[in-house]
Structure 1
Amino acid sequence: MTSESPIQTRSFHGTDADEVSDFLVTTYAENRFRALHAGKREVTISGQQWNGIGIYDGNFEMPFHFESNGSPNYLFSSCINGGSTFTSGNTVAQCAVGDVVPVSPSTDVTCVSEPAGFHHAAVILDAGELNNFVSQWIGRPLATPVRFDMKPIAADAAVAWNTAADCLRRMMMLTPAPKAAMRALYEHMLKHMMLQHGSNYSELFATDACVTEHTAHSAVAMIETDPMRWKTLGTIAHALDCPTGALENAIRRLTGQSSAALFVQGRLYGVRHALTKGDGSFVRTLQAFGFAPSNRFVNTYRQRFGEPPSTTYQRNPNAADIRHDFFELTDTLRETNVNRFIDESLGKPIGLADLARLTGLSEHATIAAFKAQFARTPMQYVIERRLERARWRLCHTSASILSIALDCGFGSQSYLTTLVKRHYGVTPRQLRLSAGTTTLGDGGRR
């Protein structure tokens, strides 16, 4: 990825098949989309797009038949609920709950949902970017574009893919977005898919070749000196005119570490130097090196240097007024404190004003603080915490689903059911049955 573009948030909600088709043109491909049910059923799609990468949550309650007219993109469809059947030529792939199916650019791809619809997480990648990555990795031009086997990837590989995709989506929601880390994660996801799933370049990609030790030393020095300039091993391999895969192998042989680990290490030492002597604010210094003021960063920094980053910054003669810097807010927004507040108000309404009072910030600043600390808006965080509590009660108590919905602040059983299906891919009853919990009935309170 050589160019930079702003992150775009896109969303759609409606019941008209033609409008769904028009939206899919802007995010994936020219298509013909039609409903398979006469009644009005909803389609909800939302997500982010950046530099040839799109990550969307698509909930098609409307059963459908989709046919692309030729796509410039790769689609990686991860089924959350329902299911679908993809067809390309003579190849047919079933996508059931938990499956991730790669769909390569083609002129004849169709997708038919199950009668109950199809809810999936879609990762859409620009074909040019993906093929350029593979070409740089193997060190030669591609004779033909990459074509993945159109079938579900292995279960463990699917879990890793979904975790990385969710992390990348959360990064896209941060302000400012950590674009260096996003680029590195993007390359990791491509490498993961190429190594874990079959394609027409599987043998060439899984190379054990190494560049010279001198070239590996040069690459390590570039990472250590200026990790934020180079951002990924692919950019370094391009600068050194060598295959990325052979360079990665040589770096592992030389240092015993992956290039990704060296990049993180380089960014940590860079941010420590800037916190000690730089003239930027605490938060902007962290952001300049691709970090956010989060508990995870503080713990990583402390493990590496034996002190929290705020202590390092306090020794900086150019430091701004520490009392007004954001790192103090991380104490206010410690996950345990926020969770305690939500749990103590579990059955009550919690609004943005309540969370602003908890943090002592304005409502606007509270939203910014939650996004920086948790990669979520305040209300998204509240809903996810309440869902965690509801899920635990479904699996470990015999309370009715209605009782749990009311006790956890959802107001109705139907609203809880909608959110549980959206987040976990199953209904509350199915979640409970999978845990083997007996109930007192689903209609009344305990």
Structure 2
Amino acid sequence: MNTLRKILSLVVLDRISGPVNKFLNPSQSGFIPGRSTADVVWSHRWLCAMCQKHKEEISILGIDLSRAFDTINRKKLMHVLEGILDGDALRMIRFLLANTSLSVRVGNYTSMKFKTDTGVPQGDSLSPVLFIIYLEAALRPLRRNKCFTNVMEVIYADDIDFVSRDQDSLENLLKVIPHSLKDWSLVINPDKTERTTISRLGTRNEEKWRTCKKVGSLLGDSEDVIRRKVLAVASFKKMWTIWKRRKYIGTRLRIRLYNSFVELILLYNAGTWGLTAKELEQLNSFHRKQLRLLLGIHWPKKMTNNELYRITHTSEIAKKVMFTKWMLFGHVLRASEMTPANQNMESYFCSLNKTAYRGRQKTTLPTTLDHDLTSIGRKLKSADDLDELRYLARNRGAWIRLTERILSRMAKVES
């Protein structure tokens, strides 16, 4: 894909962003400014917390589309765009979709180019947005189906989760979806269709939903942390030759490389974790172990934690997790109240027709947020408390000050 085409795609993307954002359903989190996989995982974490607090089951039907970008009917796409964009934007998009060609590469052999009039060219910033517009149009007839009653969508690009307390509704919906999407040349990949039931059982091992993966994160907080550690270790080992060359690569550069290639993997969607104090300390210990290996500090050499943080210009990684969690919480609160994340938070505090488990609540994302707030004389125990925080989050400066107070209180408790 040539440079001029990519530049034109960026121009078009900037021009159409306003109308497109109005057209899209709030359930879509992919390729939208201010939205990410964290929105999806945050939404699911509150669903899991809901089932840990109340005696109820929530079912998730996850579907994935096969070769989604390659099967788009361009005529239908342009028909949809005609209803939301102006003439100039339409002409530029028509130009970008016209006279496209493909070639097949097998090993070192590349076939001759051939023209194609299906799908959207991949490799620029506009194609994903055109896809989610097309998917939104394809889902609208499905939402009018009677099977869609009391069903919520949580979508990231072409990964679609249908959520309901009625499993039969989801099974009936699954019978309808293929025929509905077929009219738009979209095909479900049956091998990637997942059925997940979230509920509270006797032990964590019995709760199979904890190991279910959504946009790269496991639904169980502790299980996700364990997996992140494994992935971080694998990434750390891949760079072992760099860590060993301490004579040639300075500490600051190695720390920058570690933060870019290892820590980012470790902290993927860390803002959605609801962890106990013990789990946070274990995360700190894991982080310090990697830093010591990076510096070549091993037995019989010794280095205090404070000295380690001073030399590496870092701090406890638990503080980073805490800060990320509160920044994400504020971000979610400022978003539309129709997003799945906000709707699930509201539903969590709605006690109507719900029977709560007796005894001490299990540690979840909502309980950790409440615990943090309690340390500074606030709380998160009701929908009214949530509304107060939503109002506060509109003032970014006030929200940052709230977060700093929580972090400061956390530091005092630890000291």
Q: What TM-score, normalized by structure 2, do the two folds share? A: 0.26
Q: Name the structure where strand makes up a greater proportion of residues.
A: 1
Q: Does 1 or 2 have the higher relative contact order (CA < 8 Å, sep 6+)?
A: 2
Q: Name the structure where helix makes up a greater proportion of residues.
A: 2
